[in-house]
Amino acid sequence: FPSGLFPTGASDTKDVNQMPRFITKTISQSVESEIKCSHKIPSYNKIFWYKQGKDKALQLLGYLNLDNPNVEEELKGKINFDGDGRNNGSLSISDLKLNDSAVYFCAASFHSAAHLSGVNTKTF
């Protein structure tokens, strides 16, 4: 991964897990808390979520701070998070469109910016 990208608050792949590897849906369905992320890093209290679309660019969707979801302004109503940033969280995406087809990543952090973790933490 482009490791220089988010240099702070690094979470190691082996300490962060994401399930499942793949989700397949049809247009207008929703992903309801089905993309799950967990970590066991004491002191880390935030779970960040990213989308990597066709153009490969990474888009920050927002993060869970303890049990408070902070969804990026333009994605409110579309994306939601639940859980607790200290342990686990899940991602929901409503009213799926073709352009929601992407790789979704989670990362754990104690900072306000997260380092992306590796291959385990992806859902296609």
Ligand X SMILES: *[C@@H]1O[C@H](CO)[C@@H](O)[C@H](O)[C@H]1NC(C)=O
For the chain, the helix, strand and coil percentages under 3-state DSSP, each to the nearest 5? 5, 45, 50
CA dist., res. 10 & res. 34, Å (int):
25
The answer to whether residues 114 and 37 touch, using CB atoms and an 8 Å cutoff, is no
- Per CB under 6 A, 21 contacts ligand X: no
The answer to whether residues 34 and 25 touch, using CB atoms and an 8 Å cutoff, is no
Closest distance to ligand X from the beta carbon of 88 (Å)? 4
DSSP code string of 82-110: EEETTTEEEEEE-S--GGG-SEEEEEEES
Stretch that binds ligand X, among 1-9, 11-19, 82-90, 104-112 (CB under 6 A): 82-90
- Per CB under 6 A, 36 contacts ligand X: yes
For ligand X, which residue of 82, 92, 94, 110 counts as binding (CB under 6 A)? 82
For ligand X, which residue of 18, 89, 114, 123 counts as binding (CB under 6 A)? 89
Closest distance to ligand X from the beta carbon of 38 (Å)? 7
* Binding residues for ligand X (CB under 6 A): 33, 36, 82-83, 88-90, 97, 99
